[in-house]
Every structure is written in C-alpha cells, then in structure tokens.
Amino acid sequence: MKKSKRLIAGFMASMMAASVLAGCSSKPAESTQGQTAEAPATAEEKGEPVQMTWLVGATSAEVDDNAEVVKMIEDRFNIDLKAWYVDSNKYQENLNVRFAGGEMPDVLVIDNLSQLPDYVDGGIIGELPIEEIREKAPNYAKIADQYDDGSLWSTLVYKGKNYGVTNPMDAVPMAMFWRKDWLDKLGLEVPKTLDEYEKVLTAFVEQDPDGNGKKDTAAMAERTFGAVFGAYGLRCVTGGNPRFKVEEMQLGEDNVPYFPYIQPKAKEVLAKLHDWYTKGLIDKEFITGENHGGYAWLSHSFMNGKIGLTSAQPYHYLNASTDTKNEENWGVCMKEFKGLNPDGDIVIGPAPIGPDGQSGTEGWNLTGRMTCLTTKGASDPRIVDAFLAMLDAYYSDMDYARLVNYGLEGKHWKMADLGPIRIMEGTDLRKEGVLQVDFGSTVNFAENVTPQKRKFGHEVTGNGYYRFNAPPVEEVSNVIATLDSLTNQAYFDIITGAKPIDYFDTFVEEFKKAGGEAAEKAVQQAYAEKIAAVK
Amino acid sequence: MTAVTAKGKPVKKGFLYNMSHYKEYYIMLIPGILFFLVFCYGPMYGLVIAFQNYYPLKGISGSPFVGLKHFKALFNDPFFVSVLKNTLIISFYKLLICFPAPIILSLILNEIKCMPFKKFAQSISYLPHFVSWVVVSGIIIEFLSPSRGPINILLQNLGFESIFFVAEPKCFRGVLVLSDLWKSIGWGSIVYLAAVTAVDPTLYEAAEMDGAGRIKKIIHVTLPALAPIITVMLIMESGKILNDSFEQVYNFLTPSTYSVGDVISTFVYRMGIQKMQYSFTTAVDLFKNTISFILVILTNYVARKTNDYALW
Amino acid sequence: MKKKKNNDEEIASVRKRKRSREDWIVDGFAYGMAAILVIAIILPFMQVITVSMSPASVVNATGFHLFPTKFDFSGYKKIATDNNFWHSYLNTILRAVIGTSSGVLITIMTAYPLSKVNLPYRKGLMLFVVFTMYFSGGMIPKYLLIKNLHLTNNFLVYILPCLITGFALIITRNFFMSIPGELEESAKIDGATPWRVLFGIYLPLSKPVVATISLWYCVHHWNSWMDNMLYVTKSNLYVLQYVLQTILTNGQTADMETMTDVIIHTETMKMAALVLSLLPIVCTYPFLQKYFVKGMLVGSVKG
C-alpha cells in the first residue's frame, strides 16, 4: 500500500515539476542576500539536501542561508531550508497572487479552519495520512493522544482524509485585571462572585477611586463582557474588538456544538449587562472600544483611568509571575500602563462566579497551529519525512524546540529569573531562522521551556471556554455575515437600551430563520462525522 | 475642414480615408491606446472569475463555472436591501455636500487677493487627502468623544447632554459626510482652481463695465467658465453612487450604527470572515462597476442633450 | 511677465475705485471660510506632528496633544536607520520624476487627437477609454500579465502599468476643447503639423491643466506601494511608502493571537512615517502653484 503511494507520489512530483517549469516564468523570491534557490525537488543523489520551504504566518521572513540556526536545522534534517516572505498587509491576497502564479511553499500553516476546504479543493494542500504521522512522529503522536479530547486528530480531516497536523497548545484563558490602587483606596477586596463584582464596580463609579473629585469613572467595558457571559456558562466573546464573534460556536458538555448567542441564558446575561449599563458601570463608550489605536491589546480606557477592570491574556501584562514591581516581569501592556500611571498598580483576579456556580473566560484554541503540507511538499517523500522528523523533534528534543523557537542563548535570548527573554525581535529574528519552523507554544514546549510562564498563566486564570474548531460547512459560510449583523446589532441595542430586553426573543427567531438553525445543524452533523471518522 | 451634410454633421468616410487623412492624429494616439489595450484590456478576462468558484492555483481554466451563484448570494441576503439603501443614501448625501464644496472653495480661494495667505491656504487645504482614514478616524472619534471631546465638553458646559456622535444612528451619516468633506475638499478643488485661473480676465473687465459687482461676476463669468469641468466631474461622480469608501466606513462603523452605516463593502468584508472569497468579491465589484458604468452613460446622455459638454 | 503685472494692476486699480459694501461681504466671507478651513486642518496635523515625536506615555493618554511636551524621536530614528529607507526615497523620487513626465507626455498626446471633434471614431475611442475606468480584470490577472511581460523586479513596473489614467485624459481633453479653434486654424494655414500645434500652441496654453495632472500623477507615484508589494521582491527596488508600511507592520502582527513579541510605539512610528512622506509633497506644491496663473489666453488671441 505504501509502495504504491510512493510511486504515485514520485509520478506526481515529476508531473508537478514539468508543469511548473512549463507554466511559470517567474524567478523564485530572491533573498535579500541576492542568493537564488537552485536545488530541484527530486534530487537523485542520496545525502543531497532537499529544499524545503516553510510559511508559518504573516510574520515570516526569508532566511539568511548563513545564519547559524538555519545551518543547524539544515544539518540535522538534511534539508536546504527556505522560508517565504509574504507581506502581512493583505496577507491573504498576496498568497492568492502567489498561488495564481503557480508558486507555493512546502509547508503552510493555516490559521482558520474554514480555509481548509478551499485549500484542499483548490489543490493547494496535500494529504498527510494519519498512519504516516503516527509512524514517523511517534513522540508527537504520544503527546497528542495524551491531550486529545476526542477532537484533535479529526481537526484537519476533510472528506474522509487527513490534511495536516494539529498541535495541543498551552492555551490559557483571559485573565481579569483590576486597578489595585483603586481597590486599595476604596478598601475593597478583589471580588469573586458576580454580585461581589457588581458591588466593586458600583464603588468604582460612585466613590471616585482616582481621587480627582469628579464622578467621571465607569468601571468596565467590552473586554469584560466575555467574563460575564462566562458566569452563565456561555462563550460569547468580543476578542480585542467591540464586536461579538458570532462565527465562534461553543462546544457543549455533550460534545455537541451550538451557537451560544441564541441560548435562553444569553437573555439573562443581556439583562444584567443592560442593568449595569444604565447604572453607569459599563463605559458608555464601549461601543468604540477600549483600544484607541496602536498595539491591539492595549486598553486605553483602562490605562487612562476611565475604567478599572479589563481583560487580556496574562502575559500581555505580566510575563511569569504576579510580581508587579519587577520590571523584567512587565509585559507590553504593563509597560505602557506604568508609563502613564507611575504610581498605579494592577492585580489579577478570578473570573466572576455566576448564580449557578459557573465561571470562566474565553480561551483560544486548545488545539491549534494547524500545519499542513502543500501538494508540492506532500508529493516529495523526502520532504514529508523531513517534516515529520522536525515535528517529532519539537516534541522529543527540548533543546531543539528551544532552538527553533527562541534561538541561540546570548544572541537571540537570555535567561532571566523567570525564564527566557527574547533580546531580538521581528523580522531580524526570523531572518536568523528562529520562529520559522516551530510549532508554537505547545503543551510540552510550555512545560519544559517556559515553565514559570506556564505555571503563572494557569494559576491566575480559572476555567477556560476554549475556542472550538468548527468544521467548515457551506450552510455557515453562506449566512455568517447575516448572522453576524443580526446578532451584533441586537446585542448592542439591548445592552445600550435602544431595544427592550424582550426583543431578544424576536432576535432568536430571526437568527434561526436567516439560516442560523440550518447552520447549527449542519455543523453538528459535520462534527459528529469527523469524530466518527477518526475512531 | 471636412465635408458636411445638409444637417451639418460630418460626412462619414471610409476607414482608409480616415486613417490617411488623420494620420498624425492616430499616430499620436498609438502609445496611449496601446497602454489601455495591454494593461487594462489585457487582464479584463479576469471578469469571468465573478462567475466561477475561483481557485488561484487552478486558474481560470481549472476553476468550476457557477454562473450567477455569487450574485444570487448577494441579492438574496436579507441584509442586502438595507446595505444597498445605506450605500445609496450616503453617496447621495456626499454628492449633495461634498461635490459642490470644492467648487465653492475654488471660488473662495480665487477671491482672495492676499497672495501669501492664498498660497498658504491652498497648500494646507489638500493635506488631509494624504492621511489614511485609519489615522483620521482615530482623531475624529477622539474629537467627538462624549466624555473627552471638545464639542461635548462645550455642550455639557452649556447645560446640554453630551451626544455620542459616532454611535448614534441619527448622527452617523453626518459624521461620515462631514469627515469626507474635511478630507476631500482641498484636493478636489485643485482641478476647479486650474479652470478658474484660466478664465480670460477680459471677461471680468467686460462684466465690470456692465456694472457687475463681485458676486455677479462670480455668477456670470466664473461659474459659466467652470460649467464644462463641473459637468464632467458630475458625470463621473454620479457613476460612483454605488461606491463607498470602505476604509472610511470600516474605521467608523460599530454594531450600533450598522442599520444606517453598513454599506456594501463593509458587509461584503464581513462575509469574508469565513472563506477565501476572491470570486465573491469579484462578483460584487462587477455588480457595482456595471451599475456605475450604466449611470455614467445615462448622465452623459442627459448632459449631451442639455448642453454641449459631455464625456463623449 | 511684465505684461501680466500691468494687467493685474489695471484690474486692481479698477476694483479699488469701487470698493463697496459688497466687497466687504465677499472678502469677509472668503477670508473667513478659508481661515476656518485652515484651522480645521492645521489642528489635527499639529496632533499628528506632536504624536510623531512624543513618547508612548504621551501618546497613550487620551485627549489632544497639540504641542509636544516631552520629546521622543525614536519613531524617526527607527525609520531613518532602516536599511532600505534612504534607497527607497531615491527610488521614489526617480519614479515620480520619470513616471510623471512620461505620463503627462502620453496623456497630452492622447488627449489632443481626442479633443478634435471631427476625428473619426472619436466616440468609440472615448468609450474605449471610459470603459477601463470602471471595469478591471482584478488583481490576479493583472499579476499574471505583469509576470508574463517579465516586468517583475524591474523598475519599469512602476512606470508602465500605471502610465496614464482615464480621468486625467478626460480632464486634459476637455481643457484642450476649450481652447479656441482659430489658433489652430491660423497655425495650420502657416503649414504647422499637428505635432507643432500640440507642442507649440496647446501646451503653453495648458499650463494649469498640465500642472494639475502632473500633481495627480506625481502624488500617485509618491503614494504607491501596492505595486511594490505585489511585483517586487528585490529590496533595492523598494519605494518609500512600501518601506514605511513594512516598518510599521513589523511592529504589529496580523494575527493578534499568535504574537510572540512585538515592537511597540506604533502610533509614534505611524505618525513619523506620515510626516516623512508628507514633507516633500508640501514642498512641491508651492513650486507648481506658479503654473496656476491667469490669462495665458490673453496674449495669444490678441497676437
């Protein structure tokens, strides 16, 4: 069975080479050093390195062939490593244009599962059978099995075939950040339940926590909405922008996905949010968002003392411990916050516990970093082998994992009390070959390479409503914009009071009628099929 | 120069006669026409993508033909009518306010005799054209902020309630139109200024002799001189009625104002959340461009019937 | 030049004799509106300039920053020390000069015949041009065309595919149409070819419109970056706006969630980039203004 696959693969490879040579008259992307890639994909001599091109995302850069890290990777796996640079401005358009020209990398990371059908049907992503993954990347397979909640192996399955690898990520849900100096001034403790939250938030509004004599503070804005929904068991999140992400469905306890936005409980949450809005607890300007430009995770409302509570990933503010006095521990947002408020302080609190004892904040995918082989890569067995070897090494050899993720100590990172800190960033770092062939912060990577960060992240956060990789179905993509408009308009209007709370029932009917009901069913069915296919 | 019929229209001659008689003119045309042929008509076959499920790697010949599927998806969407309505209304307001404004500005600048100030004002006026909407919208949102913005602080001091302009459906279109006015008035006035300064001064002298004051001069000398260029610009503007400035609207739009501000391009953008929508966006663009082109032909026809100035 | 000044003086003296209440109203209105516009534009730009040289602690504070209080030129420094910056400045200047001059030349050459009412197939040709202003094949077919013409990584890709615009063509053509036909008639009687007429008569009379389309083309070339992004990978061919874009986006990742490390102060850098790209534009316009002059027709008709 495998031998014939090799034959077919070899045949396909020569066909591809022929068509590429015939159709494509463009030069391959030149590196800034002016070197051109030469080695053909089907090298005859044994031991000759095979050229392998990676594209991990919008921040990729072309690698410097002479960089030490690049050489180390190349030597280990007998490859000639190249990376694509695709402008992150209009990333998808740029990729489309390259594909149209007949070019593609060997390895491609897709960041949205909904792209999978288009990539597969479009002939861009090639099949990678699960048996082959298990055979050639056993360490990866072991850890993947360990963290499999039943859905990991089926994530990249489409029409019965598997198209890549999904990684178990060390996902940490959002943390709640309070203005500690405000709490101290008003003599308040960090609240735990939803009612306690309300008391503290009210105090923020009524008792002038910034001491300027004016009642000009609200208490929270749109980034905290997720936590309030979480107190009722729902995952209705805004991400960093003031817009609910209707396309993100929730996976129920019974392993059945659904749209959280039309659940009856959502009505209760909206009522509470509206109540808080009228009491001034929610900043009226939440509509234009907490962020006013620049780095997306900054909360200008929070930094400028308009609100006293915000939500973000732990490491946005603090790297690896709750110590807010250690400047080395400060994340990007903390640095900016301190720049504006030298005497201010923050503290991380738990997500609010709702009336039924539920709580939690949004998390990103527990399984992510979906890495696929393109049809070009998949057609060359040497590339497939090299890829799986690199995958396995990332899960078995922690020094290698740190090398490709952080680089060389002293040059690209240094060891501090709290773990490794990068000293080189951006494209410079990537040119050196770092962050070009890694698989992100997987579970075992985080455990072994950044243990303090991982420990800290899980300590300060609680239950996470992790993002669910919904299988892409046409019923959803056809109506998602409509559902999005319906939901966001309804939710915003109800919260601000532009529409009464009972409008929610009308909204649910409209949502279902507009295709929401059919979409939900389609996803449920597709997901059930996916799980069954892998069993 | 050419023979005319009894009605005064030029007699139609054969192709070869035309080519030889007007040889130099056609030779002059060659580079320009070549340019359009190669770089504009060359890729024009790409329009067929609007009728396909296009896969970039497979190319046009390899992608399946789906006919009017994308158009149907657009027209049948429950929000299409609302989105179309918003686009048209906003374009109409912009036509009403942002079209005459540069003309008026050119007249104003023309009346200013103090050269240093005139030059200064001119140079300043078109600066906003160069700033992207991302930057401009940030400044404007701050300016109109209900808690921090100067306008609302003034309102509060006067005892009124502050208004959240950007989030208030009643004000949103106004924000779009006025911010566009700010951004485009200077740059748009350049072409009218060119026409205004080319007006023969003897015409003004003649008007002066007839006892015309400044305002009458503007009405009877300057404006008629601007009529050709205004007509041309108006025809082209009318074609843009379905266009919306995605960058502008996207940076101001919030769910609170979807009902009045969501336009075709922002809606289509959200449709792209889930899929690689290359063919769908091509279809939408084709739809918009077809309507624009038809409108241009119509208005050009009307212009030709009512006066001498037209696009062709 | 002297003749023009005399004309202006004559007109001015005629006006001065009759300075009326109407003059006050018109002047007041004109100066007033112009002043309001100038203020409405300058104030935000003061904010832009201030932000471009302020540290993050100032930039992050809500409210207006019209005057810099603390200074932080790291945005400018980051941009000016980028390897590609100065070279791209040169490329852009080259592009603007070559692109504008060739564009204006071809525009004039194409507009002139199309301004002749008697030219056969004129309507068809206009339709041919106008059609391209509304319909385009899209990004991918254009990319394939450029590739097949071997224009990728070639400086000419900045000049040829965007040589002229239908809009500039129409404006120029209409301007030509407003030039009195008698001028051409008298030249033709003297035996002038269409080329002579175009460059000897029409061009000198068309300074305002030539200045206008020059400005349009120049600005287009100055601001272009998408053609760089799609068609050029050699860094020594990069243009200014593209380099600025890449510097800015290096500081932000497209996907907020996969960010590992990020260079911040993007607002400061964004504004610095904006100021750097605006500076030359602000300086060229006064240079072009002198072409927006009155009465070029006066001398020629009388003569």
Chain segment A446-491, per-residue pLDDT in tens: 999 999 999 999 999 999 999 988 888 888 888 888 999 999 999 9
- The token pair at C301 is 């008709």
Q: Distance between CA B185 and CA B187 in Å, rounded?
A: 6
Tell me if C23 sits within 8 A of B217, measured CB to CB.
Answer: no
Residue A425: is it exposed, middle or buried by C-beta count within 10 angstroms (0-12/13-18/19+)?
middle
Q: What are phi and psi of A123, to 5 degrees?
A: 80, 20
Judge whether C9 lies within some domain: no
Going from the C-alpha of A463 to that of each of A171, A458, A468, the distances in angstroms are 11, 9, 15
Q: Which of C49, C72, C95 is the last residue before a domain boundary?
A: C72
Instruction: Say what the pLDDT of residue B3 is.
Output: 57
Instruction: Say what the pLDDT of residue C24 is.
Output: 86
Instruction: Say what the pLDDT of residue C90 is.
Output: 92
A295 in the same domain as A224: yes
- Residue among C24, C41, C167 with most chain B CBs within 10 A, to mutate: C41
Chains touching chain C, criterion 3+ CB pairs below 8 Å? A, B
Share of chain C above pLDDT 90, in %: 36
Judge whether C5 lies within some domain: no
Q: Mapping DSSP to helix (H, G, I), strand (E, B) and coil, where does residue A169 land?
A: strand
pLDDT band, very low/low/confident/very high, at C8 (cuts 50, 70, 90): low
Instruction: Say what the pLDDT of residue A219 is.
Output: 93
pLDDT for B60 beyond 80: yes
Q: Note whether A402 contacts C: Cβ–Cβ < 8 A.
A: no
Judge whether A447 lies within some domain: yes
A151 in the same domain as A74: yes
Instruction: Say what the pLDDT of residue C7 is.
Output: 60
Q: Distance between CA A232 and CA A266 in Å, rounded?
A: 8
Looking at the 3D structure of chain C, how many domains does it have? 2
The closest CB to that of A240, out of C153, C252, C256, belongs to: C256
pLDDT for A6 beyond 60: no
C231 in the same domain as C214: yes
Provide the CATH number for the domain formed by B78-306 in this structure.
1.10.3720.10
pLDDT digits 0-9 by tens, A334-353: 988 998 899 999 999 999 99
pLDDT digits 0-9 by tens, C188-203: 888 888 898 899 889 9
pLDDT band, very low/low/confident/very high, at B262 (cuts 50, 70, 90): very high
Instruction: Say what the pLDDT of residue A478 is.
Output: 85
Q: Which domain holds residue A12?
A: 2-170+367-460
pLDDT digits 0-9 by tens, A266-293: 999 999 999 999 999 999 999 999 998 8
A429 in the same domain as A316: no
Please tell me what DSSP assigns to residue C84: T
Mean pLDDT of A32-44: 40
Amino acid identity at C16 = K
Instruction: Say what the pLDDT of residue B10 is.
Output: 56
Mean pLDDT of A24-41: 38
Amino acid identity at A398 = M
Amino acid identity at B178 = L
Instruction: Say what the pLDDT of residue C248 is.
Output: 74
Looking at the 3D structure of chain A, how many domains does it have? 2
Instruction: Say what the pLDDT of residue C265 is.
Output: 58
pLDDT for A15 beyond 50: no
Q: Is the dihedral of CA A463, A469, A475, A481 positive or negative?
A: positive
C241 in the same domain as C129: yes
Q: Distance between CA C12 and CA A516 in Å, rounded?
A: 73
A353 in the same domain as A271: yes
The closest CB to that of A295, out of C62, C255, C266, belongs to: C266
Q: Which of C72, C96, C112 is the last residue before a domain boundary?
A: C72
Please tell me what DSSP assigns to residue B256: G
Mean pLDDT of C165-179: 90
Q: Distance between CA A41 and CA A506 in Å, rounded?
A: 59
- Residue among C88, C233, C245 with most chain A CBs within 10 A, to mutate: C233
pLDDT for C4 beyond 80: no
Instruction: Say what the pLDDT of residue B239 is.
Output: 85
Judge whether C11 lies within some domain: no
Please tell me what DSSP assigns to residue B42: G
pLDDT band, very low/low/confident/very high, at A202 (cuts 50, 70, 90): very high
Judge whether A494 lies within some domain: no
pLDDT digits 0-9 by tens, C239-286: 999 988 887 776 554 333 344 444 555 778 888 888 888 888 878 777
Instruction: Say what the pLDDT of residue C298 is.
Output: 36
Q: Distance between CA C255 and CA C249 in Å, rounded?
A: 11
pLDDT for A240 beyond 60: yes
Average pLDDT, chain B: 88
Mean pLDDT of A517-524: 95
Q: Distance between CA B123 and CA A117 in Å, rounded?
A: 52
Mean pLDDT of A418-439: 86
A189 in the same domain as A129: no
CB spacing of B24 vs C193 below 8 angstroms: yes
Task: List, as one string, the DSSP characters of A201-239.
Answer: HHHHHHS-TT-SSS-----B-GGGHHHHHHTTT-----T
Going from the C-alpha of B258 to that of each of A149, A518, B272, B305, the distances in angstroms are 39, 24, 17, 40
CB spacing of C147 vs A25 below 8 angstroms: yes
A238-252, B29-43, C53-67: lowest mean pLDDT where? C53-67
Q: Mapping DSSP to helix (H, G, I), strand (E, B) and coil, where does residue A421 land?
A: strand
Instruction: Say what the pLDDT of residue C18 is.
Output: 58
CA dihedral defined by A96, A100, A105, A111, rounded to 10 degrees?
20
pLDDT for A257 beyond 70: yes
Report the CATH number that the domain containing residue A15 is assigned in CATH.
3.40.190.10
Q: Note whether A169 contacts C: Cβ–Cβ < 8 A.
A: no
Instruction: Say what the pLDDT of residue C280 is.
Output: 83
- The token pair at C39 is 């203020």
CB spacing of B57 vs A480 below 8 angstroms: no
| Residue whose C-alpha is closest to residue B311's, from B225, B230, B191, B221 | B230
A103 in the same domain as A244: no
| Chain B residues whose beta carbon lies within 8 Å of the beta carbon of residue A306 | 147
Judge whether C224 lies within some domain: yes
pLDDT digits 0-9 by tens, C129-165: 999 999 988 889 999 999 999 999 999 999 999 999 9
Q: Distance between CA C181 and CA A140 in Å, rounded?
A: 82
Q: Which residues in B have their CB inside 8 Å of a CB on A? A: 55-59, 62, 73, 77-79, 134, 138, 141-142, 145-147, 164, 166-167, 254-256, 258-259, 262, 267-268, 270-271, 273-276, 278
pLDDT for B57 beyond 80: yes
CA atoms lying within 13 Å on the CB side of residue C131:
13
- Determine the Cα angle at C178 with ends C176 and C181, to 5°: 85
A370 strand-pairing partners: A110
Going from the C-alpha of A496 to that of each of A279, A502, B259, the distances in angstroms are 11, 14, 15
A266 in the same domain as A232: yes
Task: List, as one string, the DSSP characters of A337-348.
Answer: HHHH-TT--EEE
CA atoms lying within 13 Å on the CB side of residue A348:
25
- The token pair at A153 is 């192996």
Q: Note whether A286 contacts B: Cβ–Cβ < 8 A.
A: no
Segment holding A50, helix H or strand E: strand A50-55
Going from the C-alpha of A294 to that of each of C14, C254, C265, C266, the distances in angstroms are 57, 13, 7, 5
Residue A282: is it exposed, middle or buried by C-beta count within 10 angstroms (0-12/13-18/19+)?
buried
Please tell me what DSSP assigns to residue A166: E
Judge whether A487 lies within some domain: no
pLDDT for A294 beyond 80: no
C167 in the same domain as C141: yes
- Residue among A32, A33, A89 with most chain C CBs within 10 A, to mutate: A89
| Residue whose C-alpha is closest to residue A351's, from A451, A463, A486, A256 | A463
The closest CB to that of B270, out of A99, A478, A484, belongs to: A484
The closest CB to that of C254, out of A58, A303, A364, belongs to: A58
Q: Which of A359, A379, A404 is the last residue before a domain boundary?
A: A359
A227 in the same domain as A89: no
- Tokens 């990332």 locate to A394
Q: Distance between CA A396 and CA A444 in Å, rounded?
A: 9
Q: Note whether A355 contacts B: Cβ–Cβ < 8 A.
A: no
pLDDT for C224 beyond 50: yes
Judge whether A484 lies within some domain: no
pLDDT band, very low/low/confident/very high, at B15 (cuts 50, 70, 90): confident
Q: Distance between CA A350 and CA A358 in Å, rounded?
A: 12
Q: Distance between CA B42 and CA C143 in Å, rounded?
A: 11
| Chain B residues whose beta carbon lies within 8 Å of the beta carbon of residue A472 | 274-275
Judge whether A528 lies within some domain: no
C266-289 and C21-52 are packed helices; what angle lies between their axes, rounded to 10 degrees? 140
pLDDT digits 0-9 by tens, B155-213: 989 988 889 999 999 999 999 999 999 999 999 998 898 888 878 888 888 988 888 88
Please tell me what DSSP assigns to residue C257: G
Q: Is the dihedral of CA C117, C120, C124, C130 positive or negative?
A: negative
Judge whether C29 lies within some domain: yes
| Chain A residues whose beta carbon lies within 8 Å of the beta carbon of residue B273 | 247, 480-481, 484
Q: Distance between CA B41 and CA B24 in Å, rounded?
A: 24
C127 in the same domain as C42: no
A399 in the same domain as A263: no
What is the ipTM score, two decimals? Answer: 0.87
C291 in the same domain as C190: yes
Q: Which domain holds residue C62?
A: 16-72
Q: Which of A460, A493, A510 is the last residue before a domain boundary?
A: A460
pLDDT band, very low/low/confident/very high, at B39 (cuts 50, 70, 90): very high
Instruction: Say what the pLDDT of residue C5 is.
Output: 55
CB spacing of C132 vs B40 below 8 angstroms: yes
A180 in the same domain as A65: no
Number of alpha helices (DSSP H) and beta strands (DSSP E) in chain B: 17, 0
pLDDT for B246 beyond 60: yes
- For A122, other C-beta atoms within 10 Å of its C-beta total 21
pLDDT band, very low/low/confident/very high, at A501 (cuts 50, 70, 90): very high
A226 in the same domain as A98: no
* pTM for this model (two decimals): 0.87
Average pLDDT, chain C: 82
A436 in the same domain as A345: no
Q: Which of A396, A431, A460 is the last residue before a domain boundary?
A: A460
Residue B247: is it exposed, middle or buried by C-beta count within 10 angstroms (0-12/13-18/19+)?
middle
Report the CATH number that the domain containing residue C293 is assigned in CATH.
1.10.3720.10
Share of chain A above pLDDT 70, in %: 91
C97 in the same domain as C64: no
C183 in the same domain as C64: no
Please tell me what DSSP assigns to residue B65: B
Instruction: Say what the pLDDT of residue C260 is.
Output: 43
